[in-house]
């Protein structure tokens, strides 16, 4: 039997909630919350959740999207485009558009922060220049 290429994910592999919590640094509570929101859909074996390669990929995507400032709703909307049956073309197009928008938003925030830091630096310099050094007579 031929084995799958090393870079190809094994779609039959499964993970427990503890596995994914550890791998992605999220709490089990967060994973259950994602499930409640319909973002993940693990199978159940009794009370145990069994996550598929698809769930793992979705979690990876969610965590990455959250880390750059997308809300869970925004991330979920982009993830849901995976299933529309066009070879992920729409999902990729929308994702790129939204990522560009998010990048622009973050750039504007960085520019605002840089401006505020400069204003503070100027204010500190102004106040410090008016301070008189203490002399021994003070």
Note whether residue 136 is domain-resident.
no
Note whether residue 1 is domain-resident.
no
pLDDT digits (tens, 9 = 90+) for 2-47: 444 444 456 789 999 999 999 999 999 999 999 999 999 999 999 9
Query: Residue 31, Cβ neighbours under 10 Å: how many?
Result: 22
Note whether residue 137 is domain-resident.
no
Note whether residue 10 is domain-resident.
no
- Domain membership of residue 111 as a residue range: 15-129
Please give the residue that has the higher pLDDT: either 132 or 81: 81
Note whether residue 43 is domain-resident.
yes
For the chain, the domain total comes to 1
The answer to whether residue 135 scores a pLDDT higher than 70 is: no
Q: Say if pTM beats, i.e. exceeds, 0.85.
A: no
CA–CA distance, 114 with 95 (Å, rounded to integer): 28
Q: What is the CATH number of the domain that holds 104?
A: 1.10.1660.10
Note whether residue 2 is domain-resident.
no
The closest alpha carbon to 128, from 136, 120, 116, belongs to 120
Note whether residue 28 is domain-resident.
yes
């Amino acid at each position: 039997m031929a084995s799958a290429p090393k870079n190809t994910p094994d779609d039959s592999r499964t993970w427990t909630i503890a596995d994914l919590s550890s791998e992605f640094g999220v709490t089990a509570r967060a994973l259950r919350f994602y499930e409640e929101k319909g973002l993940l859909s693990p199978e159940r074996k009794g009370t145990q959740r069994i996550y598929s390669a698809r769930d793992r990929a979705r979690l990876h995507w969610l965590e990455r999207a959250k880390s750059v400032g997308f809300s869970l709703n925004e991330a979920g909307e982009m993830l849901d485009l995976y299933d529309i049956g066009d070879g992920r073309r729409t999902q990729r197009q929308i994702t790129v558009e939204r990522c560009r928008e998010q990048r622009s938003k973050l750039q504007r925030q960085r520019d605002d922060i840089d401006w505020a830091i400069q204003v503070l630096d100027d204010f500190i310099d102004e106040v410090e220049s008016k301070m008189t050094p203490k002399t021994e007579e003070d």
